[in-house]
Structure 1
């Protein structure tokens, strides 16, 4: 009952079904995207009489954002950092402890010896402004740093974290 001819028919029908599927896909793409994938010009443009004007975003100075920073929100954002850093003095983890980091010299956490040296070439002490620039893009601010964190894109989050870190040591 199950011979070579039956197996040949099954394989042939599967190949035919696959061929029909591929040809159908090709025909549908040709029908719905005749010139490629949106590469053509728009057929009709409605003139509204106005030119498109890009919104100008007024950038608020960091000092202003830092002055209105929320320490409680900073503690929430610090949870992202807590996988590698601790907020208690002398408690190093993968990264150095961050207790008293605001105003502290770079590469100077007691008991932490795994500094890459990239930070001390860029900045001497952790001011709020240098912390802001570093937390925005650590790899871009200090190329060669061993910190693998991508950064905090929102200026409010950075200001809140810096205010939280600054509040730890009064």
Structure 2
């Protein structure tokens, strides 16, 4: 038996001024803007994640990542670097790896936040098992955020402390 489930993306007509035209979240000018269509594709988010929820998660992720990097950013601003792309770093694929790392941090933080919000959507036994399975996804996304931020700042990825 086959079934078809229409998602929010598939059922909404796109008109000028609709979310499809507003996919860019403008950042503070030093860090890059975030394209929510790229975030959706990279994190494999389907139409069940509404535009509004994706925008909220993206705004929160940008604010959190920017706040964590504020001291690091201030050092680069003081050194005369006008934006993240001007921070010395290798270029891979035609862009600074710092830009890729920043997007990785924002994308994964937004993904973790959205996954946490959606994991309790189904309260059946199978839904409970799926929520438990999603815990690993959330942990991996948060780990990717930590690694991306450490890589940006030139810090080691792990801290080991003897007790």
Pairwise same-fold verdict (TM > 0.5): no
> Per residue, is there more strand in 1 or in 2?
2
TM-score (norm 2): 0.22
> Per residue, is there more helix in 1 or in 2?
2
User: Taking CA–CA contacts closer than 8 Å with sequence separation of 6 or more, which of the two structures ends up with the larger relative contact order?
Assistant: 1
TM-score (norm 1): 0.22
